[in-house]
Amino acid sequence: MTNLGIPDWARWIAMDEDGLWWCYEVEPHQHDRGWYENEVGRCQKIIASQLQTLTWKDSLKKLN
């Protein structure tokens, strides 16, 4: 994966239903239209339009 402006602390990425991508420090929880932080970690919007996924529900990926 190319550098997408993902900070060093990020361990997960996921796309919400509206097409916006986010990175998370801790595995996020799913809600009805996307993902939300686990209240113990950070999150940040990232530019990841070149990433392909079928649906937002299938977008959660753990980073190495």
pLDDT band at 1 (very low <50, low <70, confident <90, very high): very low
**Residue-range domain boundaries for the chain:** 1-49
Residues contacting 64, CB < 8 A, separation 6+: none
Q: Give the pTM.
A: 0.83
pLDDT digits (tens, 9 = 90+) for 51-63: 777 799 999 999 9
SS3 call for 29: strand
Question: For residues 2 and 41, what is the distance between their CA atoms, to the nearest angstrom?
Answer: 23
pLDDT at position 19 over 70: yes
Mean pLDDT computed over 6-25 = 93
Residue 32: CB atoms within 10 A of its CB come to 5
Averaged pLDDT score across all residues of the chain = 87
Gyration radius (Cα) of the chain, Å: 11
pLDDT value for 4? 67
